[in-house]
Amino acid sequence: VIYGCNERCTYCIVPTTRGVEQSRPVESIVDEVKELISQGFKEVTLLGQNIDAYGRDMMPKRKFSDLLRVVGETPGLERLRFVTSHPRYMSLGVVDAVAETSAACEYFHVPFQSGSNAILKAMGRGHSRERFLSIVDRIRQRLPDAAITADVIVGFPGETEQDFLDTLDIMEQVKFDAVNTAAYSPRPNTPAATWESQLTEEVKQDRLRRINDLCDLHAEERRARMMDRVVQVLVEERNVKKPTQVMGRTTHGYIVYFDGDIEELRGELVNVKITRCQRYYLAGEIAEEGEEVTKILPEV
């Protein structure tokens, strides 16, 4: 829905390769969604390198939260997702739009990259740790059961042990459902690649191991809460390791396996009772007739 990126993060080559931001007209997006629905698709993902910047290049300017609401009202659309959010631009109104749009999945991917304000400044991210945590607070208030995932870089040039511990602190505060982690590696034609404060591979790999251990711990903890719940699963494909099972995803984005015929269930929404929780997937059985999907509502 938006091409390119106007940011200048000091580690990233994307703006050089993809150009400046260009938002697609709302009408074009809605028409494409309608066409996908007519072909039988039930879930659509709105994609942009910096999705929250949608509409700021248009005249008059538009808001991504408004686009979410408009697309979410498309008849026949069962599920709506979006990636990737940027803490600098993500408005609290986006959280509200997800909470108030029935088709919108309770899932947010918001890369924070570092928990250290000093490193965030060096990265040119344009936001602070406090800003990121305020977004998380809004998500937890409006959608207490929502899944939150992120991207993070460890071993950025100049990162101290305390900077890294600040990142682990964010991890502990949020308890992400999943995090894409990476040890910093220089990219050609990016400012950070030329800095003299590069860390050794030994330090970077040690920090990557430590943060991955924490990611795994939180992923297991987050999925454990799903035990005995009834969840709605959109069936995607056969379980390649066990052909008598199918695989699909919940609105949280969790992978779920259960017994079923892929020829009958592909593309179907099925209520599944969770009987086993693993670190990065769930397993269950088709819920009995009348068993409702478990809803976790915000406290009043």
Q: Average pLDDT in the 129-139 region?
A: 98
Tell me the per-residue pLDDT of 74-116, one tens digit each, with 9 for 90 and over.
999 999 999 999 999 999 999 999 999 999 999 999 999 999 9
* CA–CA gap between residue 210 and residue 17 (Å, rounded): 32
Tell me the per-residue pLDDT of 52-80, one tens digit each, with 9 for 90 and over.
999 999 999 999 999 999 999 999 999 99
Query: Which amino acid is residue 83, in one-letter code?
Result: V
Neighbours of 40 (CB within 10 A): 8
Query: Which amino acid is residue 262, in one-letter code?
Result: I
pLDDT surpassing 70 at residue 283: yes
Tell me the per-residue pLDDT of 227-274, one tens digit each, with 9 for 90 and over.
999 999 999 999 999 999 999 999 999 999 999 999 999 999 999 999
Q: Average pLDDT in the 195-223 region?
A: 98
